[in-house]
Structures are given as C-alpha cells and as structure tokens.
Structure 1
Amino acid sequence: MNTKKTVLITGARAPAALHLCRLFHNTGHTVIMADSIPYPLSKVSTSTDYFYEIPSPKWKTNECIHALLSIIQRRNVDVLIPTCEEIFYISRYKEQLSPFCHVFVDDFRKLSLLHNKWDFIQLAANLGWRVPATYRTNNEQDIKTMLYQTADTASFVLKPIFSRFSDKVEFITKEVAIKENMIDKSNYILQEFIQGTQHCSYSIAQSGNVLAHSTYKTEFTAGVGATIAFKPIDHPKIEQFVGHIVKELDFSGQIAFDFIVTENGDAIPIECNPRATSGLHLFDAEIVSAFFHANVNHTLIPKPHSECAIRLAMLVYGLPYVKSKQKRKRWLQVLCSYPDIIYSHTDRKPFFYQFFSMYKLWRESVKHERTILEQTTHDIAWDGEHL
C-alpha cells in the first residue's frame, strides 16, 4: 500500500504552515503550498514541492475555491489543510471540494459558532463552565444595569465579536465604560476583566476525540495578544475543557482556545480559534499521523523541552520588555535560548526570506493605512459576513 500522500496546505504565509510543510516533507509526503499573497514564507522552503498563488478568499471567494479545486484535481491531492482564516471560506464550500480530497475542516456552522466570541461564551456557559460576565454592546440597557451594580474599581475588556490577534481590544475602567458610546460599537462585546495569566491551547480532533493537544502560557506577544514564544505546560483543567467542547460538538479539525488562569489555578475560557495556531510548533513529525487519523491510540502531546520562539517578532516587539526591569532578563533568556521557529539548518531560505516578506507586509500596511497585524489577514479574514 502506498503511504505517500499529496498534501495541500493553505495559508503559506503563517509560520505554522511552514512548520507543517516541513513535517509533512520530512515524513515523505508531497507538499503543495498555496496563498493569496505572492511573498509567503513557505514559498521558498525546500520542503515545498509546488507553490500556487490563489485569489483572495475574502474578496474573490468563488475564484479562490475554483483555483483550489483546479490544484486538487491537477495534482491529485489527498488532503487539504487550511491553517489561517481562509478556513472559514473553505469550510463554507467544503461540499464542492470534498468529492476530490479529504478537507481537514469541520462544517461551517460549527466554525462560525466557535469564531463568534459572543456565541462561544454562551456555549461554554451553557455547558457549565465559568466564563467572564459578557454583554453585547447593542444591549445598552443590560450594560447600564450591569455597570450600576459593579464596583467603581471594576475593569472591562471591550472587543469585536469577530477579531484575531486581540486586534482592537481595549481594556477600560468602569468610568470609561459609562462614557463609552456603545452605539458606535454594535458588533462588540463588553466583558468582565479577570485578573490572571493568559494561557493558550492547540488541539487536533477527529469525530469528537482529541488526537493531539498542547498548552502554553503567554509571556511575550506581538501587540496585545499574539504569542511569539512557546513552552509546553500541563494544565488538566484546560485539557478537560478542550475535551468537553470537542466531544459536545463532535468536532473534527484544528481548534485552539485562549484562557485566563487565575491565582487558584482555575482556567476560564475567553475565546476560540477554530484553526491552526502556534501551539502547533511544539510538536514534531509525530503529529502528522493525527492529520491522517492513522495509528493515534492516545492523545499526542509535545515532548519535554520543545520550547521555541519567533525571534524576529521577539526583536520587533521587544522594546517594552527591554524597558521593563521585571521582564528584561526573561526576554533576553528566551531570545537567546529558545530555538527559532523559522530557521532550520536544512531549510535556511525562509529565515532570510522573512525579512523581505516583512518588508512587503509593512509597505502594504503603510499604503492602505493598516497596522501590520491587520495587513497580515486583510485578504483572508472572516468577520461574520454572509457567505
């Protein structure tokens, strides 16, 4: 039996996609990468057998799906694995693609439920989990009542229902919340601020079973929320929550969650990313079997000492940590000791190409008056629009 597969990975711009590309290549599979920008990291990887630039999933959805279908048929693709927010568009049109290959995503209804921060909080609460008190900003009366009943020292998080990388997230006091014009933020939620440390999880699931799982604590970020250094930890309550959600939804695919872990160790879920995230970097080639659902008899977890970091991001976003007496030593320790995610001695081109890719991204962000983080997903993001 021929065990060699042809794998099509979309979102080639993401470091997670590059990591997947290398893992599949190193285990003997043919790897095709695709993206809607011409300068993604994986384009120059020696692990990439073919690269295709495809139309934007967000702005040219039909053309994107047709392009993927053409690649799948031409290259006899066995598995399609989205890694970024193009996953929502691929999921929505999964029926058109599934007859020709296995599409490693769950159905659009589930992904939409999990991606919607309001709906996700309701789901977790209904399943009996403690969640932050959360209010839709279009329910002005409920917000006024809540603010009247809370202490003057209370703090809140104001964020869009659909967002990524903690984009447009604001941390505000009760005084600011009272003065805030919520009418202008109709697609936002106001959430109780919970004191604690952010933790993240990444998992692969099949038919309600968790096949692979990693948890890591957020120490260093790009901007407000995108973690850029990773060290695996064990947290049973997080594992329990992930298993419960996956089982309840009979979920298949990649799924990630953000939590606030309090001083007493309670893990409080705050949002979900039903796609690949950087927790994937903590795994080695063993995780490939989870994508094929082959020979996975127990939940795969990262090996000890599998920490890693995106060193360029550590440098670009490092100034606040350098200025902090409490964090400077730890930042320097992680920068110097954690292996770089992008660099590989057998695949050096992406390391050097990332500087060109970052420059192009910066140029586009300046041209369109967006932040760099906004620019990274401008052509693939899904914010609840009708599809």
Structure 2
Amino acid sequence: MRIVLTGGRSPLALFFGQKLKQMGHEMYMLEHFSPTFANYTNIFTKIEVIAPPAQQFETFRKEVLSFIERNAIDLLLPINEETLYYGLLQEEIQHRGTSFLIGEQELLNTLHNKLTFITWCEAIGLLVPKSELYVAQAVDFSKQLVKPIYSRFGQSVFFSEEAITTIDSENYIVQEKIEGQQICLSLMLKNGQLISACAYDTNLGIENFASITYVPFEHPKLTQIIEILSQHLSQNGFFSFDFMFDGTTFYPIECNPRLTFGAVLDNERIIAGLLDTPVKEINKRITTSYGIKLLWLGKIITQKNWRKTYPTYLKTQDVLAEAFVWQTWLMLPWVLAQYFLKAKKQKLSITDFVVQDISYQVDKNEGTEGSDE
C-alpha cells in the first residue's frame, strides 16, 4: 500500500511511519518547510514540500491533489493541525480513491473552537466548566481563567488581571477554573465503529505546554463518557479530548479533532483500523507507558522532583527511540537550530514558528478556499 503522512516536523509522524514501513508499506511525506526530522530518516520514498495551507490554501489544495494522483496514494494520514485543512479537501481526496479517516468538517470546526466545544459537550449531556466569551468583563481569577479560543501547546492561558491587559478580547474565553488532574482521552472511529479508546495521564508533575508523558489511566466513569462521545461523533475520525478530573467529575475543557501523541499508546489497534486488518478487543487494558524521554529527563533534572516521576520514567518506552534512526539523532541539533534561527528571523517563539503555517482558525479560513492569500 502507498501511504502518505504529513507533518515530518513531528516525531509522531516518524513513529507511525516506522511502524507502517516495517509492515511493508511504501511511505511518502508531505511538508511545508525543510529541513524537518523526516529529511533525516530512511522511512520515506519521497518527501515533497508543498504550499502552507494557512497562507496559500488554494495552492496547497492543488499541490495535495496533484501529489495524490501522481503517486497513486492509497491512504492519507495527517499528523498535526494541518489535518483540518485536509478535512476541507476530504471529498476531493476520497473521490481520487485515497482513503482518509476524517470527521465531518462542520463537527471538526465545532470541536476545534474551545467555546463551541463546551456548548457541544453540554448539549450531549456532559458536565462542563462554565465558559463564556471574554468581552473585557471583570474576571475573578480565584475561580476563573482566560484562554484563547484557538491555541496550541496549552499556551497563553492567563491566571491574573495584569496578564490580560493587552489581549484581543474577542478571541478569548473566560472559563471556570477546575483544580485537579489533566486526563486525555483519544478515540478513533471508523464506519461508526469504535476502533480505539485510550485515556492517559500527561501530568506527572513536570509538564507544561505540550505533553511529554503518556501513562495509561483508568476510571469507571470514563467508560460512560466514551459511550456518550462515540454516539455523537462522526462515523469516522480521530478525536482527542482533554479533561480536568477533580477526583469526582471529568470536565471537558478542549478537543483536538485529529491524531495526537497519545495515539502511541494504542498504535497497534489504530494501524489495524487504518489498514482494515483484524482489530484487538477495545476493552483490552493498555499497560504500556510512553514518553519523550529526552525532554522528560531534562524536566526531572531541572525541576528536581525525580522521586515522583523517575520510577515511571524507568518503566516507560521512548517515543523517540522507536521513531528515530541514527541519522535522525545525529541531525537533531541541526534541525532544532534551524527552527530556532528561522523563528528568530520571523520574531516568533519556536513553538509558534512550527505551527504558524498549519494553524487552523475557522473564522479565518471559511473564506480562503478559493484564493491564495
């Protein structure tokens, strides 16, 4: 099978690329800049740099469809937030005979927006934190927080009055502050069937921004939540939910309607579902923990709370060890240095730089399907 992945800047793409290549499939990669980690591995038959969808959507559209046709692609698996741009092309992609597991675009837009996501969750019967659009009203920061409607890596969440003096109020929400443990839940549905469901704890006391630990988490109440979500989601797609768990209730706070890093925990069932091969029992317990151990070790050392996390660290499998080959490790400093220099040139942080060409905002993209910007 000919399979194209996107997002070679993410180790997750190399992780799934390695698994699929080892099964005998021919792998391709679509990206929007170079170099990325994908350039320094032996996974991909071809890597093609195409137009960035956030800035040049129509060129992106033409180049994606042309690539799929020229290379007779059987399966498309986007990895990062560009998934939502590919979603805009889902009918055209599938019309060309390429399999693409994606939800209905209207639902993707609803789930991606933090405020409409909360409304959707409340409508299907989940308990939610009180949330409203921020319009410069008074905020009680002892009980509330302010965060963007669209954000990545958990950035730009404000916990004090002083921090919000310069923000654009129409792009933020005020939300009830829930104290507790952040739990993520990843679901995969295909043809109305739940293929994969895994919950995991990403905290362990040392994370900020993007998660670097993926430790399986179980709770009886999650079974009911999975049933409710599965009944109201699209027939197809990947959906990753973030909850705050206060010890009694799971409060949904946001959703990434796409594949996320937690998928490594259940990669065998996910790949089986993508390839239409027999799928293991959904209720089979997931016991293996994963982590990005290079970053994790740095957190343990610098924050000096190794007693809390080091035992788990030792028992955890390394995402990068399974994703990278020796060439990737060798060139890792070079790739990161390129990100740093390009980000500095554009006066962006590295985290902003690596998503600025793929960041998806519904209100900004509804009118860009027919023209380059």
TM-score between the two structures when normalised by the length of structure 1: 0.86
Describe how 1:59-70 pairs up with structure 2 within 5 A: 59-70=55-66
SS at match of 2:168: helix
Deviates more, 1:219-228 or 1:14-23: 219-228
Matched, 1:272 2:259: no
Deviations 1:332-385 (CA, angstroms, capped at 9, x unpaired): 445555332112498332233332222111112222222221112111111221
CA RMSD after TM alignment: 2.6
Aligned identity (percent) is 24
Q: Does 1:237 align with 2:221?
A: yes
Instruction: Give CA deviations for 1:105-161 in whole Å, capped at 9, x if unaligned.
Output: 1222111011000000001111121111111013x5xx55xx6xxxx7833221110
Letter of the 1:115 partner, please give it: H
Structure 1 distance, partners of 2:303, 2:272, is: 38
Aligned residues: 364
Closer/same/farther in 2, CA of residues 73 and 36 from structure 1, 3 Å limit: same
CA distance in 2, matches of 1:286, 1:345: 18
Counterpart of 1:358? Answer: 336
User: CA 1:81/1:345 → structure 2, altered by over 3 Å: closer, same or farther?
Assistant: closer
In the alignment, what sits opposite 1:92? Answer: 88
Residues 212 and 291, structure 2, Cα contact 8 Å, conserved in 1: yes
Answer yes or no: is the 8 Å Cα contact 2:300–2:310 preserved in 1.
no
Equivalent position amino acid for 2:158 in 1 = E
Show the 5 A alignment for 1:73-84: 73-84=69-80
Provide the residue aligned with 2:270 in structure 1: 287
Q: Contact 2:87 / 2:102 at 8 angstroms: preserved in 1?
A: yes
**Corresponding residue number in structure 2 for 1:44:** 40
1:216-235 correspondence to structure 2 within 5 Å: 216-219=200-203, 224-235=208-219
The residue number in structure 2 matching 1:170 is 158
Distance 1:204 1:249, change over 3 A: closer
Q: Aligned letter for 2:67?
A: I
- Whole-angstrom distance in 2 between the partners of 1:59 and 1:318: 39
C-alpha contact 1:229 1:334 (8 A) present in aligned 2:
no
CA contact (8 A) 2:186 2:262 kept: yes
Q: Which moved more, 1:11-20 or 1:118-127?
A: 11-20
Deviations along 1:35-83, one digit per CA (max 9) or x if unpaired, are 1121222332222222212211211212222222122112111111111
Aligned pairs for 1:1-387 (under 5 A) are: 5-100=1-96, 101-138=98-135, 143-144=137-138, 154-172=142-160, 176=161, 181=165, 184-219=168-203, 224-264=208-248, 266-296=249-279, 298-299=281-282, 303-304=286-287, 306-315=288-297, 317=299, 321-322=303-304, 327-344=305-322, 347-384=325-362, 385-387=364-366
1:251, CA displacement in angstroms? Answer: 3.8
Could you report, residue by residue, the CA deviation over 1:177-201 in whole angstroms, capped at 9, with x for unpaired residues? Answer: 8x95598321100101111010112
The answer (yes or no) to whether the contact 1:8–1:34 under 8 Å persists in 2 is yes
Rounded to whole Å, the distance in 1 between the matches of 2:247 and 2:75 is: 42
Higher relative contact order (CA 8 A, sep 6+): 2
* Cα contact 2:127–2:251 (8 A) shared by 1: yes
Question: With structure 2 as the length reference, what TM-score do the two structures score?
Answer: 0.89
CA distance in 2 between counterparts of 1:332 and 1:380 reads 35
Cα distance change, pair 361–318 in 1 and its aligned pair in 2 (3 A): farther
In structure 2, relative to structure 1, the CA distance for the partners of 1:372 and 1:282 (3 Å cut) is same
8 Å CA contact 2:77–2:101 kept in 1: the answer is: yes
Secondary structure of 2:340's partner?
A: helix
Q: Which runs of 5+ in 2 are unaligned?
A: 367-373
Cα shift at 1:300: 6.8
Q: Check whether the contact 1:213–1:301 (CA below 8 A) recurs between aligned residues.
A: no
Residues 5 and 78, structure 2, Cα contact 8 Å, conserved in 1: yes
Aligned amino acid, residue 23 of structure 2: T
8 A contact 2:14–2:323 mirrored in 1 = no
- Structure 2: distance between partners of 1:11 and 1:328: 32
The 10-residue stretch of structure 1 (216-225 or 61-70) with the greater mean CA deviation from structure 2: 216-225
CA distance in 2, matches of 1:300, 1:28: 28
Gaps of 5+ in 1: none
Deviation by residue 1:258-295 (Cα, 9 ceiling, x = unmatched): 0111123x211110000111111213444311113443
